[in-house]
């Protein structure tokens, strides 16, 4: 065996040692792969046998932030990247009862499982790594993240019986890019909620504009007949909340939504609006 062949055998052996697995219940196996992210986390995948098919999924880990990278579904730049990877690898997506997104591929053929493992591992690695790229000012990103967490926790706590969906699109087809901070379905009627915040008045106005655009699209969509509320949850405690610099934009947004914005300091009003 030549020196180069020895090198290849060593490389192959080292990579082989990075694979591991464990059973997760009777029909599911977790596989830890050698594929990693830019946050130095190895990708784990889950293989489940169900109804004659084999499902290879990320187990919700990507959306859950297990790779120390948060998928911001309101970031249009990041969404374009994710949609590209979804289409390229033909990855499907579903959502569990807690609103956690699961990405997966499925096949009835056992011999194709290695292909699906490769494609899903690549997909998760690339998406998790892309999510770490700073697309906007760090202060603004932190402002949006903090308010989103607070607002999401409040809605989840008070409207859990309606199973609110966060960062949800109107549908998975024509309106997949029209996303709302929260979507609540109650008796086949929809309440659309947009969180509005900003670290500066300019960023606050941009947040208002994005919310307004999505409400306008929803109002002219095929879903317009089932929309009960278009609600703006306004972070009136943000540094960018300077009324004399955002007032005109806010008035336009309230005119289009047909409802007065709900200040974060008065968030209890949501209880009477939605219930």
Residue 125 sits in the same domain as residue 142? no
pLDDT tens column, 20-39: 999 998 899 999 999 999 99
Query: What is the pLDDT, as a whole number, of residue 80?
Result: 87
Residues 96 and 220 in one domain: no
Structure confidence at residue 37 (pLDDT): 94
Q: Which two tokens stand for residue 13?
A: 């052996």
Dist. CA 14–CA 55, nearest whole Å: 28
**Please, are residues 159 and 184 in contact by the beta-carbon 8 Å criterion?**
yes
Query: Is 136 a residue whose pLDDT tops 80?
Result: no
Q: What span, in angstroms and rounded, lies between the C-alpha atoms of 16 and 228?
A: 55
Do 185 and 167 share a domain, yes or no? yes
pLDDT in tens, 179-229: 899 999 988 899 999 999 999 999 999 999 989 999 999 988 998 899 999
Say yes or no: 151 and 267 in one domain: yes
Query: Which of 109, 130, 151 is the endpoint of a domain?
Result: 130
**Token pair listed for 223:** 């879903």
Domains of the chain: total: 2
Written as six digits, the tokens of 239 are 């540094």
Q: What angle, 0 to 180 degrees and rounded to 10, lies between the N-to-C axes of helices 243-257 and 201-219?
A: 10
> Do 122 and 227 sit in the same domain of this protein?
no
Q: Are residues 117 and 75 in the same domain?
A: yes
- pLDDT by residue (tens digit) across 79-100? 889 999 999 999 999 988 777 8
Report phi then psi at 69, rounded to 5: -145, 125
DSSP state of 253: H
Do residues 104 and 89 lie in contact, with contact meaning Cβ atoms separated by under 8 Å? no
Burial of 11 per CB tally in 10 Å (0-12, 13-18, 19+)? exposed
Contacts of 74 (CB under 8 A, 6+ apart): 144, 148, 167, 179, 181, 210
What DSSP assignment string belongs to 159-171? SGGG--EEEEES-
Residue-number span of the structural domain to which 193 is assigned = 138-274
Instruction: Indicate the pTM of the whole model.
Output: 0.63
| 37 and 154 belong to one structural domain | no
């Amino acid at each position: 065996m030549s020196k180069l062949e020895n090198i290849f055998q060593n490389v192959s052996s080292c990579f082989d040692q990075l694979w591991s697995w464990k059973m997760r219940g009777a029909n599911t196996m977790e596989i830890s792969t050698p594929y990693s992210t830019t946050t130095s986390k190895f990708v784990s995948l889950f293989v489940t046998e169900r109804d004659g098919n084999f499902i290879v999924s990320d187990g919700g880990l990507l959306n859950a932030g297990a790779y120390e990278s948060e998928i911001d579904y309101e970031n249009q730049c990041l969404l374009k990247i994710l949609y590209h990877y979804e289409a390229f690898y033909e990855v499907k997506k579903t959502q569990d009862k807690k609103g956690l997104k699961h990405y997966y591929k499925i096949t009835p053929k056992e011999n194709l499982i290695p292909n699906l493992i490769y494609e899903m591992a690549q997909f998760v690695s690339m998406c998790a790594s892309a999510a770490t790229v700073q697309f906007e000012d760090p202060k603004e990103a932190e402002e949006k993240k903090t308010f989103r967490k607070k607002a999401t926790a409040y809605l989840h706590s008070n409207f859990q019986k309606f199973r609110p969906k966060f960062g949800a699109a109107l549908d998975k087809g024509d309106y997949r890019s029209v996303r709302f901070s929260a979507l609540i379905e109650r008796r086949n009627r929809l309440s659309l909620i947009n969180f509005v915040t900003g670290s500066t008045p300019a960023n606050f106005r941009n947040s208002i504009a994005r919310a307004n655009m999505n409400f306008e699209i929803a109002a002219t969509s095929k879903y317009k007949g089932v929309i009960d509320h278009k609600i703006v949850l306004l972070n009136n405690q943000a540094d960018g909340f300077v009324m004399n610099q955002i007032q005109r934009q806010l008035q336009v947004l309230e005119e289009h939504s047909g409802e007065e914005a709900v200040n974060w300091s008065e968030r209890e009003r949501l209880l009477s609006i939605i219930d």
